[in-house]
């Protein structure tokens, strides 16, 4: 989310807490505040935003506004709620974890698709952090109030994450990610037959200027942060391709956006338009086949397969590898069968 959460209650209203704050861009055309917030807040429903407006919990430039207020360039928009932001609501939950490795300094988990990594708007429970807080006492804090987290992957991406259990481990691991010395390999199924067997995608990433829930490539580097993805074709399956992606940087949605940028959107990636047949024939049977594969894999086809780093205490090189999960493997097998016929 492109939100700036403030953990302190608002002094002007005893029981209100600031949850989100956005500053409209210089190019913002007049837009109703409820529609503006729908573009910014992940998992927000119009009903919830309208309720906030009716309760007097939407502020623009420090003044309460109604839902039909038109947001203009440089307006500062805040959403306030009576309960504190989610950082205050980190409730330990006894959720099973697939722990690949654990010692006194860290643990490596294989996150299933569908599990949110940390609490946020619309996901205050059932997250990996809720499970970790139950499993481990006194997880170290980081600057984002997300204890133990060194990096993260999207809700519908499966795969490996390393969690720090001590302040020393947090500092050491975070520096490795910052210095780009970790090894991170993902396996992805993408639309189309890739032209090259391997390559590197470069292009700065920032929020999409119109759809704030998407990231966007700025090839000139005039906006956003540097992002570099190395890819290699693993298997060509006709209208889709199985690829390996190695991250040099770790930006939000990096693989999803970079692959779309070169014309190969992730299979069944709803947010970036991969949830419809982007390649193939017009035959009804083909459409039925694609719909069937969407049901087999009801999420984007992305798995964080390999993770490597230096242990913060022993200085030993650690490397972990996981199997592609069943839903993704079944989908690949269906495409394998289709391409062979």
Query: Annotated catalytic sites, by residue?
Result: 154
Q: How far apart are CA 212 and CA 25, in angstroms?
A: 11
Task: Quote the CA–CA distance of 335 and 192 in Å, as a whole number.
Answer: 12
- State how far the Cα of 294 lies from the Cα of 298, in Å rounded to an integer: 5
Q: Give phi and psi for 270, each to the nearest 5.
A: -60, -40
Nearest by Cα to 19 from 39, 47, 49, 46: 49
Closest-CA residue to 219 (of 262, 185, 177): 262
Contact 246, 185 (CB under 8 A): yes
Q: Rg for the chain (alpha carbons), in Å?
A: 21
Nearest 5°: phi and psi at 333?
-65, -40
CA atoms within 13 A on the CB side of 110: 14
Closest C-alpha among 323, 326, 314 to residue 169: 314
Encoding tokens for residue 18?
């600031």
Tokens of 317: 């090189």
């Amino acid at each position: 989310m492109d939100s700036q959460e403030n953990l302190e209650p608002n002094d002007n209203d005893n029981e209100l807490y600031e949850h989100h704050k956005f500053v409209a861009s210089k190019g913002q055309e007049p837009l109703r505040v409820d529609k503006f917030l729908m573009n910014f807040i992940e998992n927000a429903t119009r009903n919830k935003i309208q309720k906030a407006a009716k309760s007097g919990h939407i502020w623009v430039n420090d003044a309460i506004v109604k839902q039909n207020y038109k947001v203009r360039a440089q307006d500062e928009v805040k959403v306030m709620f009576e309960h504190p932001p989610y950082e205050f609501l980190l409730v330990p939950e006894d959720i099973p974890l697939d722990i690949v490795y654990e010692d006194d300094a860290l643990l490596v988990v294989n996150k299933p698709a569908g599990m949110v990594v940390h609490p946020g708007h619309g996901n205050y429970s059932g997250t990996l952090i809720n499970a970790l807080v139950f499993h481990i006492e006194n997880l170290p804090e980081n600057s984002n109030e997300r204890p133990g987290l060194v990096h993260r992957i999207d809700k519908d991406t499966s795969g490996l994450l390393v969690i720090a259990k001590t302040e020393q481990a947090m500092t050491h691991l975070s520096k490795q990610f910052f210095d780009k010395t970790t090894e991170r390999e993902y396996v992805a199924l993408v639309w189309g037959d890739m032209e090259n067997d391997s390559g590197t995608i470069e292009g700065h990433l920032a929020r999409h200027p119109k759809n704030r829930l998407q990231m966007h490539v700025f090839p000139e580097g005039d906006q956003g942060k540097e992002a570099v993805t190395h890819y290699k074709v693993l298997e060509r399956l006709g209208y889709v391709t199985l690829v390996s992606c190695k991250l040099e940087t770790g930006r939000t949605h990096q693989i999803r956006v970079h692959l779309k940028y070169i014309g190969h959107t992730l299979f069944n990636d709803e947010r970036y338009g991969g949830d419809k047949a982007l390649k193939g024939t017009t035959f009804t049977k083909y459409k039925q086949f694609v719909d069937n594969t969407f049901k087999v894999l009801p999420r984007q086809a992305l798995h964080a397969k390999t993770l490597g780093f230096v242990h913060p205490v022993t200085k030993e090189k650690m490397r972990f590898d996981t199997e592609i999960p069943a839903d993704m493997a079944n989908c690949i097998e269906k495409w394998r069968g289709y391409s062979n016929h």
